[in-house]
Chains A and B, each alone.
Chain A
Amino acid sequence: MSANRDHSAAADEALVSWAKQGDMRAFEELVARHRDKIYARAFGMMRNEDEALDLSQEAWVKGWQRLKQFQGESSFSTWMTRIVINLCLDALRRRKRQHAESIELMAEESGGVERHMPIVTVNPTEGLERADLRQRIDQALAQVSEVHRTVLVLHEFEGLEYKEIAKAMKCSIGTVMSRLFYARRRMAVLMASWKREQES
């Protein structure tokens, strides 16, 4: 049955339907189509290649096991992204329990340094090629705390609302707003420093 199907030409909905019937080749095609996004989401949160690979693969395994729960109310890609985000959040919580944060990061997360950040008025994208801009954003993300990076990934890249982020991160909406505010301000300051580097 699986051999007669053109998996590469099929839409995601058809592949999901076949995969639910046990068609592993259909699921492999879904993995091939969406693996970059799932891996990117994992790496964005974990900032570690090996962990991101492990968690993204674990997400795919869980996706296969839970496929019958997917009813198509969201896209398959969105559903898989939620799975990998859940896994990453669990991993980050375990990591936080094992390692104490530095005083600098704790100060950053509490917003203490934000009060000393001047408001940025320059557009950080001017004069930058898109690939260069993305690379700089990636470097800036590596410099913020895990908590700030998580909330940025969930809101700015994943497009989640505050209440969804609060539920995912198991905190209040007020905490989400606080974290997102300081995270965005920190990114603004980091991006503004590029302009100063360019002009100097």
Chain B
Amino acid sequence: MTDEMKFELLAYADGELSASARRNVEARLATDVGARALLAELQMTRQTLGSNEPAQPLPESREFYWSKIEREINRLESAGERRAPSPILQWWRRLILPAAGLAVLALTLSVNVLPGVGRGGSGVEASFPGAEALTYRDQAQGVTLVWLSYPGEDEARDYEAAPPDGDWL
């Protein structure tokens, strides 16, 4: 029996096969004693394990276990409050970024309009330090792109986001 046949038997035992694949396996099982024996073993093992998951009681008291969780939650929330920028600073950042983007755009357009300036180039890239704005200009195609980005919140930067409702990231 090939490995592929064995894995097909496993998938058959676990209900993971399509209808047509199931029919193929059943046709083989009708004549293959070895396949039937292997399938029976796979099914028996699955049933035994699924019905008898070992119990693992928590080796700590409820209060102690919870106290560590609560302490960590409080610590993280306090740290988050200390890191959060002041409302005034947040307002200023929201104002300066669009203004910086507009300034970059104005500069780019002025370079394009002025005759003899920067002609013939392609793929010019400039950055506006501190304002998180990037400009790309392709003179050959006459295309100018301005990219603006706001600084991400802590949550968005945290890659270990919990899968929403049981889904996997």
- Nearest chain B CB to A44 CB, angstrom units: 7
A79 engages B162 (CB within 8 Å): yes
Does B32 touch A at the CB level, under 8 Å? no
- Nearest chain A CB to B140 CB, angstrom units: 42
Stretch in contact with the other chain, from B19-27, B50-58, B117-125, B126-134: B50-58
Q: How large is the interface on B (under 10, 10 to 19, 20 to 34, 35 or more residues)?
A: 35 or more
Does B84 touch A at the CB level, under 8 Å? no
Set B6, B69, B168: member contacting A164, Cβ < 8 A: B168
**Chain B interface main SS type:** helix
B76 engages A44 (CB within 8 Å): no
- Nearest chain B CB to A143 CB, angstrom units: 13
Which residues in A have their C-beta under 8 angstroms from that of B44?
A: 120, 123-124, 188
A125 engages B48 (CB within 8 Å): yes
Does A145 touch B at the CB level, under 8 Å? no
Known contacts A69-B161, A188-B44; A53 and B59 CB within 8 A of each other:
yes
**Proximity string of chain B (46-73) to chain A, C-beta cutoff 8 Å, 1 when within and 0 when not:** 1011101111111110100110111011
- Apart from the given pairs A79-B162, A162-B14, A167-B168, 17 other A-B contacts in the complex at a CB distance below 8 Å: A31-B65, A40-B53, A40-B55, A57-B69, A61-B73, A61-B76, A63-B162, A69-B162, A78-B166, A119-B41, A137-B53, A137-B54, A138-B54, A156-B50, A168-B168, A177-B10, A178-B7
What is B's interface to A at a CB cutoff of 8 Å?
3, 6-7, 10-11, 14, 16, 34, 37-38, 40-42, 44-46, 48-50, 52-60, 62, 65-66, 68-70, 72-73, 76, 155, 160-169
What is A's interface to B at a CB cutoff of 8 Å?
24, 28, 31-32, 35-36, 39-40, 43-44, 49, 52-53, 57, 60-66, 69-74, 78-79, 82-83, 86-87, 90, 111, 119-121, 123-125, 130, 133-135, 137-138, 141, 152, 155-157, 159, 161-162, 164, 167-168, 174, 177-178, 180-181, 184-185, 187-188, 191
